[in-house]
């Protein structure tokens, strides 16, 4: 029975020696760790870019609001609408 199980395992492993299988697994583990590290770095970079973009867009909205306020001084109803929209954003 033991020999039969060994034969089945060898067939599954495509008759490769144990040392070859272990080396293959170690190489895969190394690649997985490298990919995980790269994934972590990419995630951090994405978060930094999103934060920068949020800051830029916030400043842009603020400047646009000020520009509209300056150009629409004669119409208070439009100013109130813009203030409400800006506060919602």
Say how far apart CA 35 and CA 72 lie, in whole Å: 54
Banded pLDDT at 9 (limits 50, 70, 90) = confident
Say how far apart CA 79 and CA 77 lie, in whole Å: 5
Please check the confidence at residue 47 and state whether its pLDDT lies above 80: yes
Percent of the chain with pLDDT over 90: 38
Question: Which range is most confident: 57-61, 72-76, 78-82?
Answer: 57-61
Give 89 or 6, the one with higher predicted confidence.
6
Please check the confidence at residue 58 and state whether its pLDDT lies above 80: yes
- C-beta neighbour count of 79 within 10 angstroms: 15
pLDDT confidence of residue 89:
61
């Amino acid at each position: 029975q033991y020999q039969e199980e060994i034969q089945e395992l060898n067939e599954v492993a495509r008759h490769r020696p144990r040392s070859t299988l272990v080396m293959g697994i170690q190489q895969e583990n190394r690649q997985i760790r490298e990919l995980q590290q790269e994934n972590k770095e990419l995630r951090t970079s994405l978060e930094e870019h999103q934060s920068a973009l949020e800051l830029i867009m916030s400043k842009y909205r603020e400047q646009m609001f000020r520009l509209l306020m300056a150009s629409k001084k004669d119409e208070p109803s439009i100013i109130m609408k813009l203030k409400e929209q800006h506060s919602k954003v």
